[in-house]
Amino acid sequence: MTRIPSHDITPESLFWQRRRILGFTLAAPVASVLAACAGPDVASTDASAPTSTVASAGSVTTTTDELSNPLTDYETVTGYNNYYEFSTDKERVKDLSAGFSTTPWNVVVDGMVAKPRTFALEDLLALQASERIYRLRCVEGWSMVVPWTGFPLAALLQLVEPTATAKYVRFETLNDPVRMPGQSEPWYEWPYVEGLRLDEAMHDLTLMATGVYGKALPPQNGAPLRLVVPWKYGFKSIKAVVRITLTDVQPTSLWMAASPGEYGFFANVNPRVDHPRWSQADERRIGELGRRPTLVFNGYKDQVASLYTGMDLRKFY
Ligand SMILES: Nc1nc2c(c(=O)[nH]1)N[C@H]1C(S)=C(S)[C@@H](COP(=O)(O)O)O[C@H]1N2
Ligand SMILES: [Mo]
């Protein structure tokens, strides 16, 4: 079992201390929201930090991303998770989600499409699968390198034929407080919602992941189906998707609703735009000591910058 430096955890008590130090006064529910995705990842060097070893799970043929960054080991990828439907404690999500059943699973694709359809998960697993090694940069200031398997979202959207009026894609997580006990917490507007502009959704980098490390996606990583948008902060990569709706209205995500001053719609990784409460200039790659500089668009600038031509990316966070 890989040990995670305890500094990544923002327990309520520490959070409150920090709030007091910073002199914030917030009503309790709001403050709990902000403890969320979240408090900054505290920079530290820790002798117990995991070393980057490529885990044995599944059939991964490549051991680094295209920038020669080693993969984050399997135990960490599947043992250190943000998933508020189960817990705000990243190290407890794995155990608390262990019994989460994903059969049967349907995904409704509706809205501004010529051919709305409900897909059984099996229909989606039949789409051409590919392996993608992507950096995942959490807005909290930590990152990983993850080998996903899945299919491009574009392949799914082409099947339903978005109409000319569709401008955005809205994603929704399963809403089931019995199976997802965190949804009984009143601080958020459940279910978790995320959104992309249609051209972002159609971009080849945008993946619907069904597996990790060559194995089926485990519950804690968003089984059976989760979005992965590698040039945006991790919170855009919504888990356990049950509904995808094409629309002409910019979706309001759970994080935009919870804290509009902190979380915008685009949320492109940008080291030059600080979070209101911490810098985004650098990050802690889990498994490494110290911090490394955060890359513009998380290192995918060449592939995605043209999506934002003419936009002021400081303003359109
Ligand atoms: N439904 C849902 N999706 C979610 C989250 C969540 O709490 N609920 N957390 C997000 C955040 S903040 C991050 S960083 C990533 C983490 O993905 P991972 O656990 O696979 O690393 O999932 C994102 N998707
Ligand atoms: Mo995150």
Q: Judge if the beta carbon of residue 237 lies within 6 A of ligand 1.
A: yes
Q: Which among 302, 299, 297 is positioned nearest to 313, based on CA atoms?
A: 297
Decide if pLDDT at 277 tops 80: yes
- Residue 279: pLDDT band by 50, 70, 90 thresholds? very high
C-alpha–C-alpha distance, residues 74 and 92, integer Å? 16
Decide if pLDDT at 315 tops 80: no
Q: Which among 209, 256, 202 is positioned nearest to 233, based on CA atoms?
A: 256
Instruction: Summarize pLDDT for 119-149 with one digit per residue, the tens.
Output: 999 999 999 999 999 999 999 999 999 999 9
Decide if pLDDT at 6 tops 70: no
Nearest ligand 1 atom, CA 93: 19
Domain boundaries, the chain: 6-308
Closest residue (by CA) to atom 23 of ligand 1? 235
Q: What is the mean pLDDT of residues 220-242?
A: 98
> Which 8-state DSSP code applies to residue 50?
P
CA of 239 to the centre of ligand 1 (A): 6
Give 149's strand partners.
Answer: 131, 211
CA of 60 to the centre of ligand 2 (A): 25
C-alpha–C-alpha distance, residues 301 and 297, integer Å? 5
Ligand nearest to the CA of 255: 1
> Which 8-state DSSP code applies to residue 25?
-
Closest residue (by CA) to atom 1 of ligand 1? 239
Q: Judge if the beta carbon of residue 32 lies within 6 A of ligand 1.
A: no
Q: Judge if the beta carbon of residue 192 lies within 6 A of ligand 1.
A: yes
What the block records as the tokens of 56 is: 């044995």
CB atoms within 10 A of CB 91: 15
Pocket test for ligand 1, best of 76, 82, 176 (most atoms within 8 A of CB): 82
Q: Judge if the beta carbon of residue 37 lies within 6 A of ligand 1.
A: yes
Q: Judge if the beta carbon of residue 241 lies within 6 A of ligand 1.
A: no
Q: What is the pLDDT of residue 45?
A: 36
This prediction has a pTM of 0.86
CB atoms within 10 A of CB 153: 24
Q: Judge if the beta carbon of residue 87 lies within 6 A of ligand 1.
A: no
Closest residue (by CA) to atom 20 of ligand 1? 221
C-alpha–C-alpha distance, residues 81 and 93, integer Å? 6
Residue 14 backbone dihedrals phi, psi, to 5 degrees: -60, -40
Nearest ligand 1 atom, CA 77: 21
Decide if pLDDT at 16 tops 80: no
Decide if pLDDT at 60 tops 90: no
Angle at alpha carbon of residue 135, lines to 296 and 260, rounded to 5°: 60
CA of 285 to the centre of ligand 2 (A): 13
- Asked if residues 248 and 259 have their Cβ atoms less than 8 Å apart, the reply is no
- Residue 316: pLDDT band by 50, 70, 90 thresholds? confident
CB atoms within 10 A of CB 150: 24
C-alpha–C-alpha distance, residues 157 and 134, integer Å? 22
Strand 215-216 to strand 226-228: parallel, antiparallel, or no bridges (unpaired)?
unpaired
Q: Judge if the beta carbon of residue 135 lies within 6 A of ligand 1.
A: no
Nearest ligand 1 atom, CA 81: 19
Closest residue (by CA) to atom 6 of ligand 1? 83
Give 137's strand partners.
Answer: 143
CB atoms within 10 A of CB 133: 18
Identity at 61, one-letter amino acid code: T
What the block records as the tokens of 288 is: 């490494």
Which CATH architecture fits 6-308? Alpha-Beta Complex (3.90)
Closest residue (by CA) to atom 10 of ligand 1? 235
Q: What is the pLDDT of residue 220?
A: 99
